[in-house]
Amino acid sequence: MLDASGPPVIDFDRWRFRLAGLVEKAVEWDWKEFQLLPRVKVFADFHCVTRWSRLGNLWEGVTTRELVQRAGGAKPEARFVTVHGYDRGWTTNLPLEDFLSEDALVAFLHDGDAISGEHGGPARLIVPRLYAWKSAKWVAGVELTEQDQPGFWESNGYHMRGDPWKEERYSV
Ligand SMILES: Nc1nc2c(c(=O)[nH]1)N[C@H]1C(S)=C(S)[C@@H](COP(=O)(O)O)O[C@H]1N2
Ligand SMILES: [Mo]
């Protein structure tokens, strides 16, 4: 499906990424601080639920594992995450285990270039093992939770997990 709304205007000076909820200590990074974190490159395909895929993307950014570690780790009761976008309160939910998969990252480069506004820049979540709607564009923060809370598309019938290999498209 298409985006819920168009690209929000995001000013680098005001950009923040916040990791909160069931972590040992909530952390917030501004753009400069975020750029100083250790980076990785992840080469992955991207599968939209409406059946298109974009193969062979090179993403560069900070792993979700690195970010959670810098927040002192997840509390034992944390089992899910809610990811927030800068586009008018858009959210998506996914299991913490998928969020912390080895190849999941908050990316700011795609094939070597800054991610465009259209594609979720300045930074977006990338979770290659799940359908693309879980890969929140214009990411603003992530909250670890105990209960699974449906996000925007999930409230409209999309799957709570969304594994393309199991074709988990809809929850009904
Ligand atoms: N914040 C936010 N992230 C979002 C969406 C959205 O509406 N808002 N749409 C999702 C959907 S349905 C898809 S298929 C992908 C599309 O990413 P692309 O525009 O880079 O191809 O972004 C996902 N991430
Ligand atoms: Mo989509």
Q: What is the CATH number of the domain that holds 153?
A: 3.90.420.10
Ligand 1 contacts CB of residue 29 (under 6 A): no
pLDDT at res. 171: 84
In a domain, 10, yes or no: no
Which of 134, 138, 169, 144 is CA-nearest to residue 8?
Answer: 138
Provide the pairing of β-strand 53-63 with 40-47: antiparallel
- What does the alpha-carbon distance between residue 114 and residue 36 come to, in Å, rounded to a whole number? 16
pTM listed for this prediction = 0.97
Enter the DSSP assignment of 126: E
In a domain, 11, yes or no: no
By most ligand atoms within 8 Å of CB, the mutation choice from 49, 133, 159 for ligand 1 is: 133
Residue 137 reports pLDDT greater than 90: yes
In a domain, 171, yes or no: no
Total structural domains within the chain: 1
- What does the alpha-carbon distance between residue 90 and residue 96 come to, in Å, rounded to a whole number? 19
State the average pLDDT over residues 163-167: 92
Q: What is the mean pLDDT of the chain?
A: 96
Provide the pairing of β-strand 16-21 with 139-145: parallel
In a domain, 135, yes or no: yes
State the average pLDDT over residues 77-100: 97
State the average pLDDT over residues 105-130: 97
In a domain, 111, yes or no: yes
The domain of 95 spans 16-166
Distance 105 CA to ligand 1 centre (A): 15
**Closest ligand 1 atom, CA of 2?**
12
pLDDT at res. 172: 63
